[in-house]
């Protein structure tokens, strides 16, 4: 027996009988013709990376393929075997014959490939002795049982499970077909169904609660649904938003809440996500679970092919217990296990019930059976492995673990050889050159580390070269910090404008054009997938309303809504199963599809009943006319298998095939662009062809549509003039249900922008892609219209108006050259003259303008960056001296002095600015010479308003000043101090007022007790502080950040609880008369500020008010009420806004209040002395009028009667204002503040002490 491959003595492997199988298995591999040149001989000639790549190639050569021999370009028989299949595409240059594609398998996370050496060993050494394992009296039965026992021991060795000897405490069980069956078996071993039944039937004293199961955020359906179906109480632990790992703090909190509950508590967590490859810290999770008396179970289905599994790890600290109580995995995901393997469960013996009957009872599980009764076996293995097991599959499991061990040892030997050998500088340089284009030169120490590095290198490469590809769960900020470990599993969506290409369409293009095998859908991890796709709300991951709408649509409309099912495309790039050339080929294909894949959509047809996309030539036969293989072609009488494809000896190497395939993809694209017939047919598609739209409820379904229709792509293609790439701009706002940006950070960078510009180029003077005439002079006076608004202006002024939000994106311009009204943004995109890079000013973005882009791209290079550099400059790091910091600031100011426009703030999006500008103009909020004081709490609303005011200051013709004030209540739950350097960096005068409001509230109530409403008291004190700061600094207007949602909620609360039509005023003067309060965001939806704050990464301060958890908030309840109504009526808030506009007038409240009082007074006339009441009222009114210097209504009436011209000359506003003043004087509302005296101080209190001085100093930052 030869051990030349392993290069280890046979005695090294004599552990529990595993060495025999290992030696024989390696001997078969050594004898195979696929490994003519040994790794040792190759390693002597090449570099370390060459040796590693040879190791990977040797594994790929061992895969079962349709082509067993392939020669390279030098006609040497040293190539890599591969499977080919016919593409549905054909080229005219190749006689319209479908060309062959290399089958590149990248769906290892679902199921792995079979290995030829393994199957040959099973065929030659094992299967001849196959028999049922329930007997030891025959040689076949004994040998089969021995193979099964050996496989069990191999699994135990590779997972550090203790199954033999006196220290035995674990058992290894084989069951079913994967982790799903293993979880079912674990539930059966624990007797959970019996426990749940007892809890349901017993009284509350005996069994108060059901067993509790804590699950992680990444769970596969196998590790979630099964636990739910047992009737256990399932509690899901969320993902940490910072590290994207299991939130350990949340886990401890929920464990503490169940600490006193006397029930069976279990925690089951995935060792790695099958969606993003994110690894969990299983040692830390197990220690935490055991700390609170909870069992620790782990799902290794995804991570078993990559990681070292340890059932009984050694504690690093004396007080921790990182051991696992159970782990389960799916060996069919391991290399070699795809042909058929059972699930594996490793569990502590003490957890396996010997009293409850097994759920799957039958042959092999019973001790004795009579006509009347039966007894089960006490042996834990035989008791729970009933029936005839998957014997050959169990053998294959053992071989899979041996293959994994062998690869790890071979990799370690390669690195050992490198450490011993003195590598010269020339060889090191050669190693760097031999790495992938997206690789580092450092060699990972293990195969596991190699896979981790593959993820980060591929992810960073895609981030740079494929900006439209949204990689789910990828956070670039965690790269290189040791805080993120992901297996090479990639789940992604590809953007097209405001929507995405359907994931099944992306899978189809990867298959049909490149031969890459991927998978589309939610990957059987629904909750985590929905979280990544932005379909959850709250920190606990509850399904959002949109998510509920999708589920309802799938249930209600069935096949018609199938395309709405959320999902994404997934593939994996492991070390074992792919060569480095294949990895590079896949990454290049992903970049190609992300940029150009949408242009092939006219060649495809979608089956809306299944959600599948197929090439038009293969609608009825997805495998083609002659490509399908048939089981019925098996010839039972044949002596040999002749089904494999032969090689003619002239075939190119695999690397050359990849290059040919990439070249053919470009040729296919060129022909598709010229295929006017397919484009025309797609343009004829109606809404009925698109499934969503015409029937009842279709409008609601259309709002959920997140994918692109073929017709939308055809429209873009029809606008093309020649064979050039079309730039598809990525708008900030996505349409439809799916929005990964709510969770995942935006995958964009300056490098990506520059690379995108390099690929797309600049628009030429022909205005390609739109068929429009050439440039229009920018100084020409043009007629424009925006709804009911029309006017004449120069082109650059119209463009500026759209960019500033004064005009909507739907603005049209009359083009006299063609005599038609044109979309203004189309003309702007055509009018952009190409500029060279050298002539471009610093900070200017030269991306190609898209005809559908809402906003002209002016200086977008700083969008979404939060001006982090400015903040960092103000808050000096500890390791930088004062001189270095000051010189750095001076240098930055010097560099920015040459810029034409230096932005000291983040430019808000056009939609937000349009709403703010509309409110400012309609309510005359800002006048020339105003001095504004903004109340800045640090929340998303006030932070957004801060940047909106700075933008207004830059744009409006009126000149005004902005100052900022923050009230610090000195509570530990709210610390706004980080706002100081941020606001200071913006160059604004900043007032930071410290006032211990909560402490004063404890004695500010009646009889020196606590105030009845802390929220109301805090609001009054903060408002008083703001008033006093404004007065001291001569500010005439206080700016508050209430938005449309706040106004609507106040309106509904006033109607429901006060019976009065009232809401927040847009612009009003306080009763003191010296200050005005303005709310520029009264027309803005809250979602606008939320999206702006997230995209711009504003430094939001979370405020946790100490009163917030005392009782449910009525405002929160009303918010939910309005949200439900908006689902039924999408224009609900537009109607609310129009109805509230009269109520926002400062005089409306007094007028309507007077009408109410007068109507009520008429109904009480008989019971009240009219004369006495009128006299008292007249006397009171005359006193007020005398004090204010006004005439009485009677005198005013006589004056108007004698001077009719005075009435005719008064404007409607004057009449309304006079009426409101009289009504307000007659029916002054309770709680109004007294007027101030001539000094401006309040006349209500005898002291002139400012509120901000009560709680401490008021700091000013200029």
pLDDT of 370: 79
609: pLDDT strictly greater than 50: yes
* Residue scoring higher pLDDT (625 or 1165): 625
Q: What pLDDT, in 10s, does the model give residues 1012-1029? A: 877 778 888 899 999 999
Residue 217's pLDDT band (cuts 50, 70, 90): very high
204: pLDDT strictly greater than 70: no
DSSP track, 714-771: HHHHHT--SS-PPP----SS--SS--GGGTSPP---HHHHHHHHHHH----TT-TTTT
* Residue scoring higher pLDDT (1078 or 1147): 1078
Rounded mean pLDDT of 1072-1077? 90
pLDDT of 1147: 78
pLDDT of 113: 93
300: pLDDT strictly greater than 70: yes
- Residues 1206-1225 as b/e (b if ≥16 CB within 10 A, e otherwise) read eeeeeeeeeeeeeebebbbb
pLDDT of 206: 52
Of 1126, 1108, 1143, the residue nearest 1045 (C-alpha): 1126
d(CA 1262, CA 1256): 19
943: pLDDT strictly greater than 80: yes
358: pLDDT strictly greater than 90: no
Of 939, 1029, 942, 937, the residue nearest 989 (C-alpha): 1029
1101: pLDDT strictly greater than 60: yes
pLDDT of 730: 59
Task: Report the percentage of the chain scoring pLDDT > 90.
Answer: 33
pLDDT of 1102: 61
d(CA 142, CA 148): 10
d(CA 213, CA 266): 5
pLDDT of 352: 85
1088: pLDDT strictly greater than 90: yes
864: pLDDT strictly greater than 70: no
Residue 415's pLDDT band (cuts 50, 70, 90): confident
Q: Which helix (H) or strand (E) holds 663?
A: helix 654-673
User: What torsion, rounded to 10 degrees, do the Cα atoms 80, 83, 88, 92 define?
Assistant: 40
d(CA 520, CA 502): 9
Is the dihedral angle over the CA atoms 529, 530, 534, 537 positive or is it negative? negative
756: pLDDT strictly greater than 90: no
Q: What is the mean pLDDT of the chain?
A: 75
Of 1259, 1252, 1256, the residue nearest 977 (C-alpha): 1259
Residue 1166: burial class (beta carbons within 10 Å; 0-12, 13-18, 19+): exposed
Task: Report the percentage of the chain scoring pLDDT > 70.
Answer: 66
d(CA 896, CA 379): 79
d(CA 964, CA 1258): 12
d(CA 507, CA 669): 17
pLDDT of 480: 52
43: pLDDT strictly greater than 50: no
pLDDT of 1235: 41
Residue 799's pLDDT band (cuts 50, 70, 90): confident
361: pLDDT strictly greater than 50: yes
- Residues 1041-1060 as b/e (b if ≥16 CB within 10 A, e otherwise) read bbbbbbbbbbbbbbeeeeee
Q: Which residues contact 146 (CB under 8 A, 6 or more apart)?
A: none
Instruction: Pick the range with the lowest mean pLDDT from 275-284, 503-512, 734-743.
Output: 734-743
Residue 90: burial class (beta carbons within 10 Å; 0-12, 13-18, 19+): middle
- Assign residue 102 a region (left: φ > 0; alpha: ψ between -120 and 50; beta: otherwise): beta
The 3-class SS string of 960-1020 reads CEEEEEEEECCECCECCCCHHHHHHHCCCEEEEEECCHHHHHCCCCHHHCCCCCHHHHHHH
- Residues 1109-1142 as b/e (b if ≥16 CB within 10 A, e otherwise) read eeeeeeeeebbeebeeeeeeeeebbeebbeebee
Q: Which residues contact 135 (CB under 8 A, 6 or more apart)?
A: 141, 142, 145
pLDDT of 745: 52
pLDDT of 151: 93
706: pLDDT strictly greater than 50: yes
Neighbours of 286 (CB within 10 A): 24
In contact, 100 and 87? CB cutoff 8 Å: yes
DSSP track, 87-119: EEEE-GGGTTPEEEEE-EE--TTT----BHHHH
pLDDT of 188: 87
1090: pLDDT strictly greater than 80: yes
pLDDT of 829: 59
pLDDT of 135: 79
pLDDT of 760: 34
* Residue scoring higher pLDDT (1215 or 693): 1215
* Residue scoring higher pLDDT (442 or 956): 956
Q: What pLDDT, in 10s, does the model give residues 970-1008? A: 876 577 888 888 888 888 999 999 888 878 888 888 888
566: pLDDT strictly greater than 70: yes
pLDDT of 468: 93
* Residue scoring higher pLDDT (1259 or 861): 1259
Rounded mean pLDDT of 5-16? 34
831: pLDDT strictly greater than 70: no
DSSP code at position 643: -
Is the dihedral angle over the CA atoms 1251, 1255, 1256, 1257 positive or is it negative? negative
* Residue scoring higher pLDDT (17 or 431): 431
In contact, 604 and 615? CB cutoff 8 Å: yes
Strands annotated E in 547-701: 568-572, 604-607, 612-615
Q: What pLDDT, in 10s, does the model give residues 1149-1159? A: 777 877 777 78
* Residue scoring higher pLDDT (1258 or 152): 152
pLDDT of 815: 63
DSSP code at position 605: E
* Residue scoring higher pLDDT (1180 or 1015): 1015
Rounded mean pLDDT of 489-518? 94
Residue 166's pLDDT band (cuts 50, 70, 90): low
901: pLDDT strictly greater than 50: no
326: pLDDT strictly greater than 50: yes
Highest mean pLDDT among 419-433, 498-512, 869-883, 1014-1028: 498-512
Residue 1188's pLDDT band (cuts 50, 70, 90): very low
pLDDT of 67: 66
pLDDT of 945: 95
Strand 98-102 to 84-90 pairing: antiparallel
Rounded mean pLDDT of 158-178? 85
DSSP track, 537-564: ETTTTEEPHHHHHHHHHHHHTGGGGGGG
Neighbours of 191 (CB within 10 A): 22
In contact, 23 and 405? CB cutoff 8 Å: no
């Amino acid at each position: 027996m030869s051990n030349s491959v392993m290069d280890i003595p046979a005695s090294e492997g004599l552990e529990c009988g595993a060495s025999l199988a290992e030696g024989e298995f390696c001997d078969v591999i050594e004898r195979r013709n696929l490994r003519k040149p040994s790794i040792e001989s190759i390693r002597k000639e090449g570099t370390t990376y060459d040796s590693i790549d040879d190791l990977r190639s040797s594994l790929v050569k061992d895969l079962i393929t349709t082509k067993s021999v392939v020669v390279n370009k030098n006609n040497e028989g040293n190539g890599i075997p591969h499977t080919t299949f016919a593409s549905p595409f054909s080229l005219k240059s190749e006689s319209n014959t479908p060309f062959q594609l290399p089958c590149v398998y990248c769906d290892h996370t679902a199921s792995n490939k079979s290995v030829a050496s393994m199957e040959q060993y099973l065929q030659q050494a094992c299967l001849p002795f196959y028999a049922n394992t329930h007997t030891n009296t025959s040689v076949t039965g004994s040998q089969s049982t021995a193979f099964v026992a050996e496989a069990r021991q191999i699994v135990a060795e590779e997972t550090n499970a203790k199954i033999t000897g006196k220290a035995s405490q674990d058992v290894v069980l084989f069951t079913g077909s994967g982790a799903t069956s293993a979880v079912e078996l674990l539930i059966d071993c624990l007797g959970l169904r019996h426990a749940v039944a007892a809890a349901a039937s017993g009284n509350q004293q005996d069994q108060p609660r059901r067993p509790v199961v804590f699950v992680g955020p990444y769970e596969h359906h196998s590790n979630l649904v099964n636990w739910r179906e047992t009737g256990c109480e399932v509690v899901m632990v969320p993902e940490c938003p910072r590290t994207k790992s299991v939130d350990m703090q949340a886990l401890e909190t929920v464990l503490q809440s169940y600490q006193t509950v006397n029930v069976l508590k279990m925690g089951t967590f995935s060792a790695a996500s099958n969606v993003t490859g994110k690894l969990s810290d299983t040692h830390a999770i197990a220690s935490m679970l055991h700390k609170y008396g909870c069992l620790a179970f782990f799902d290794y289905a995804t991570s078993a092919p990559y990681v070292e599994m340890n059932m009984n790890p050694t504690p690093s600290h004396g007080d921790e217990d990182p051991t696992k109580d159970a782990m389960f995995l799916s060996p069919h995901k391991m290399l070699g296990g795809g042909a058929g393997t059972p699930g594996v469960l490793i569990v502590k013996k003490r957890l396996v019930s010997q009293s409850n009957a097994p759920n799957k009872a039958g042959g092999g599980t019973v001790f004795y059976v009579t006509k009347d009764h039966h007894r089960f076996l006490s042996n834990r293995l035989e008791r729970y492995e009933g029936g005839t097991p998957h014997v050959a599959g169990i053998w294959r499991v053992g071989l899979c673990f041996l293959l994994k061990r062998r690869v790890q040892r071979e990799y370690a030997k390669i690195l050992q050889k490198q450490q011993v050998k003195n590598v010269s500088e020339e060889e090191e340089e050669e190693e760097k050159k031999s790495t992938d284009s997206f690789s580092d030169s450092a060699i990972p120490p293990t195969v596991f580390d190699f896979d981790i590095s593959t993820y980060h290198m591929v992810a960073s490469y895609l981030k740079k070269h494929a900006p439209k590809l949204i990689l789910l769960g990828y956070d670039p900020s965690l790269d290189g910090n040791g805080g993120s470990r992901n297996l090479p599993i990639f789940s992604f969506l590809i953007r097209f404008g405001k929507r995405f290409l359907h994931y099944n369409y992306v899978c189809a293009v990867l298959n049909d054009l490149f031969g890459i095998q991927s998978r589309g859908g939610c990957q059987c991890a629904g909750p985590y997938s929905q979280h990544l796709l932005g379909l959850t709300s709250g920190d606990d991951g509850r399904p959002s309303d949109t998510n509920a709408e999708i589920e309802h649509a799938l249930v209600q409309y069935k096949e018609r809504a199938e395309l709405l099912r959320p999902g994404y495309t997934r593939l994996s790039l492991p070390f074992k199963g792919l060569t480095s050339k294949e990895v590079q080929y896949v990454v290049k294909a992903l970049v190609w599809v992300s940029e150009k894949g949408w242009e092939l959509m006219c060649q495809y047809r979608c089956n809306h009943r299944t959600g599948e996309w197929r090439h038009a030539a293969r609608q009825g036969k997805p495998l083609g006319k002659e490509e399908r293989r048939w089981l019925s072609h098996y010839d039972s009488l044949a002596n040999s298998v002749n089904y494999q494809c032969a090689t003619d000896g002239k075939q190119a190497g695999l690397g050359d095939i990849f290059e040919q395939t990439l070249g053919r993809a470009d040729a296919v694209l060129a022909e598709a662009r010229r295929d006017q017939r397919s484009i025309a047919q797609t343009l004829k598609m109606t809404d009925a062809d698109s499934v969503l739209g015409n029937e009842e409820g279709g409008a609601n379904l259309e709002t959920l549509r997140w994918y692109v229709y073929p017709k939308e792509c055809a429209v873009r293609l029809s606008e093309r003039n020649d064979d050039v790439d079309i730039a598809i701009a990525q708008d900030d706002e996505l349409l439809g249900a799916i929005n990964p940006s709510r969770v995942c950070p935006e995958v964009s960078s300056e490098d990506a922008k520059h690379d995108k510009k390099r690929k797309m180029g600049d628009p030429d003077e022909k205005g390609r892609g739109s068929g429009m005439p050439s440039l229009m002079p920018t100084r020409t006076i043009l007629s424009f219209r925006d709804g009911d608004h029309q006017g004449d202006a120069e082109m650059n002024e119209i463009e500026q108006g759209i960019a500033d939000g004064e005009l909507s994106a739907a603005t049209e311009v009359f083009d006299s050259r063609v005599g038609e009204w044109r979309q203004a943004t189309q003309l702007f995109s055509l009018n952009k003259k190409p500029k060279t890079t050298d002539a471009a000013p610093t900070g200017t973005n030269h991306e190609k303008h898209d005809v559908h882009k809402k906003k002209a791209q002016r200086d977008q290079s700083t969008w979404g960056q939060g001006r982090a550099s400015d903040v960092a400059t103000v808050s000096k790091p500890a390791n930088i001296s004062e001189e270095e910091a000051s010189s750095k600031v001076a240098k930055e100011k010097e560099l920015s002095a040459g810029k034409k426009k230096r932005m000291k703030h983040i430019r808000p999006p056009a939609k937000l600015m349009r709403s703010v500008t509309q409110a400012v103009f309609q309510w005359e909020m800002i006048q020339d010479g105003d001095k504004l004081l903004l109340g800045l709490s640090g929340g998303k609303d006030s932070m957004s308003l801060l940047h909106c005011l700075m933008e207004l200051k830059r744009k409006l013709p009126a000149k005004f000043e902005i100052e900022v004030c923050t009230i610090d209540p000195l509570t530990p739950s709210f610390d706004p101090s980080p706002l100081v350097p941020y606001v200071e960096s913006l160059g604004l005068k900043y007032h930071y007022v410290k006032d211990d409001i909560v402490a004063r509230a404890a004695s500010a109530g009646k009889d020196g007790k606590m105030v009845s409403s802390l929220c109301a008291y805090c609001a009054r004190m903060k408002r008083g502080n703001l008033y006093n700061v404004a007065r001291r600094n001569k500010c005439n207007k206080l700016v508050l950040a209430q938005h449309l949602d706040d106004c609507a909620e106040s309106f509904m609360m006033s109607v429901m609880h006060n019976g009065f039509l009232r809401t927040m005023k847009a612009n009003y003067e306080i009763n003191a008369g010296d200050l005005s309060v303005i709310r520029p965001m009264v027309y803005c939806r809250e979602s606008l500020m939320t999206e702006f704050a997230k995209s711009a990464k504003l430094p939001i301060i979370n405020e946790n008010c100490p009163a917030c958890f005392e009782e449910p908030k009525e405002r929160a309840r009303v918010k939910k009420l309005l949200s439900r109504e908006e689902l039924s009526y999408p224009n609900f808030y537009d109607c609310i806004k129009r109805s509230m506009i009269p109520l926002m007038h400062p005089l409306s409240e007094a007028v309507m209040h007077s009408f109410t009082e007068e109507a009520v007074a008429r109904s009480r006339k008989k019971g009240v002395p009219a004369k006495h009441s009128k006299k008292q009222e007249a006397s009171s009114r005359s006193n007020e009028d005398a004090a204010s210097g006004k005439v009485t209504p009677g005198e005013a009436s006589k004056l108007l009667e004698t001077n009719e011209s005075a009435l005719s000359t008064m404007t409607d506003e004057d009449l309304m204002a006079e009426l409101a003043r009289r009504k307000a004087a007659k029916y002054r509302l309770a709680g109004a503040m007294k007027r101030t005296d001539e000094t401006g101080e309040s006349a209500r209190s005898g002291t002139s002490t400012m509120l901000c001085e009560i709680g401490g100093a008021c700091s000013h930052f200029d």
